[in-house]
Amino acid sequence: MLDRQQTGIVFNVQKFSVHDGEGIRTLVFLKGCPLHCPWCSNPESQRREPERAYNPTRCLTAAVCGRCAKACPTGAVSIVGGLVCFDRSKCTGCNACVRACPSGAQTVYGETQSVDQILSRVEEDGVFYTRSGGGLTLSGGEALAQPDFALALLREAKKRHIHTTIETCGHYPTDVLDQACRVLDALIFDIKCLDSARHKKATGVGSELILKNIGHVFEHFPELPVLIRTPVIPGFNDTEEDILGGAGQAFDGGWNKVKLYFMLGLPGETYDDIEGIAILSDKIAREYYTIPKDERNGKVSIVTSTSIFVPKPFTPFQWSPMNTKEQAKDKRNFLLGKVREQLNQKSIKYNCHDADVSELEGVFARGDRRLNKVILEAYQSGCFYDAWSEYFKYENWLKAFEDNGLDRPEDELFPWDFIDIGVTKKFMRREYENSLKAQVTPNCRVKCAGCGAMKFKCGVCVENLTGSDAERNG
């Protein structure tokens, strides 16, 4: 079979990504993953096979519609108390309910597509790849969980002169990774934890194979650009000991570069917290210099980057005030000053997100339909391709806001308050107050927090439900 004819199961194609490789990229998400991280940002990707999903906020309600239940031949979809309920044990995967749903409330994550179909979509944005140095990034799930399809996709992309990158957890046969590296332009390798026992407890697998595979890359593909990422997970790997220990083991393995990502302007933030960023950066550099001089791989480089916290709708932080541009600049300057006070300041490079851009992000994150006129006027005055600094025209945006007289009183209802997402405002307010007290709410799969979504009678809310949880949620 030709590479372009090879098929696999894809659950999403995301365009214009700027965080998963160089330049502007198209992300192709493949189904299947050998890890089962409870913090996974794409839990719908973990199973290899297509999965039915239900979005109750889009449902026309059983009283109005109910077509999904009527279409299901096995009784997996039923109407209980006027609500649409789903029994996974009865589902055969026929997707009759999905085809019958007129509103898109019933959907499927995962669709069989060919390499040619995927690359046709990727090539639509070729002009942006050329301008930005971007291309294709395979992700998941796990990018190599469907090895035949993924490798065929990478080989065919290379034939078409598309820059290729994969995001990988590294847990699969070494020969698969070896084949991928031969046609990759860059590799993003996630390592959650170096301790195998802790890794297995959290993800279901140990870290031995993962560490073996990254070692194989270093040994056999020394010229391949590799970025190793470690997501910071509260209660798992977020202590200073974890960070310094991981950095130390990386330094022992020959690495001499570390990138740190932080956020300024979080609720409850103090200047001591900000100074702690500089101190931690210095401690990591000091960790490098514990290695004997003749065993070091040149000088150490610590890149510390910060962005500005932007409150988002439907989150506990929707009540949080965003730092003003002046406050953001003050905090950035403070941090820069503290970096310059450190013993290893020459080894630390500080980068920060543009405060003007962050200000606009905050406006658009919580704006309403009145922004339509602002966006149109800004566009007509030359505001486009704003992600590229040379095209960003802050003054034009300010004029567009002034011309349209937009201002919002503090007591105004949120523009999204009319939408019922299941999670109650009372719960989110409680979570906001807990965050100010540094109180962590357990993962839903560990303990129900009573957010209100139980009323939909689906998903994790009814999976492995305990008697106490059921009583708490009615």
The 3-class secondary structure across 154-181, one letter per residue, is HHHHHHCCCCEEEEECCCCCHHHHHHHH
Of 195, 213, 235, which closes a domain?
Answer: 235
State phi, psi for 412 to the nearest 5 degrees. Answer: -65, 140
Question: Could you tell me if residue 467 is inside a domain?
Answer: yes
Q: Quick one: DSSP state of residue 455? A: G
Got the DSSP string for 238-289? -SHHHHHHHHHHHHHTT--EEEEEEEES-TT--HHHHHHHHHHHHHHHHHHT
**Which is it for the CA torsion 82, 86, 89, 91, positive or negative?**
positive
Q: What is the pTM of this model?
A: 0.76
Residue 180's closest CA among 207, 208, 141, 153? 153
Alpha-carbon distance of 219 to 211, in angstroms, equals 12
Q: Which of 284, 235, 213 has its CA nearest to residue 446? A: 235
Instruction: Tell me whether residue 282 is in a domain.
Output: no
Residue 321 domain-assigned (yes or no) = no
In a domain, 211, yes or no: yes
CATH number at residue 135: 3.20.20.70
Helix (H) or strand (E) holding 115: helix 115-123
Q: Is residue 150 part of a domain?
A: yes
The whole-angstrom distance between residue 78's C-alpha and the CA centroid of its chain comes to 34
Domain count, the chain: 2
What is the rounded CA–CA span in Å between residue 379 and residue 372? 11
What the block records as the tokens of 46 is 């973990």
Q: State the residue range of the domain holding 171.
A: 1-50+110-235
Please, which residues bridge with residue 214 across strands? Answer: none
Residues 6+ apart with CB under 8 A from 3: 115, 152, 153, 155, 156, 159
Considering 185, 204, 235, which residue would you say is the last residue of a domain? 235
Retrieve residue 23's tokens: 């330049």
Q: Which two tokens stand for residue 287?
A: 């960790």
173 belongs to a structural domain: yes
Determine, yes or no, domain membership for 301. Answer: no
Q: What is the pLDDT along the chain (474 residues), one digit of tens a residue?
A: 799 999 999 999 999 988 889 999 999 999 999 999 988 888 888 888 888 888 877 888 777 888 999 999 999 988 887 778 888 788 888 889 999 999 888 888 899 999 999 999 999 999 889 888 999 999 988 999 999 999 999 999 999 999 999 999 999 999 999 999 999 999 999 999 888 999 999 999 999 999 999 999 989 999 999 988 888 888 888 889 889 988 988 888 788 999 999 999 998 899 999 999 999 999 999 999 999 999 898 999 999 999 999 988 888 988 888 888 899 999 999 999 999 999 999 999 999 988 888 888 888 888 888 899 999 999 999 988 777 777 888 899 988 988 887 665 556 678 888 888 888 888 998 999 898 888 888 877 778 888 988 877 666 776 655 444 444 443
Flag whether 372 is in a domain: no
Asked if residue 207 lies in contact with residue 213, where contact means CB atoms within 8 angstroms, the answer is no
Q: Among 216, 235, 254, which residue terminates a domain?
A: 235
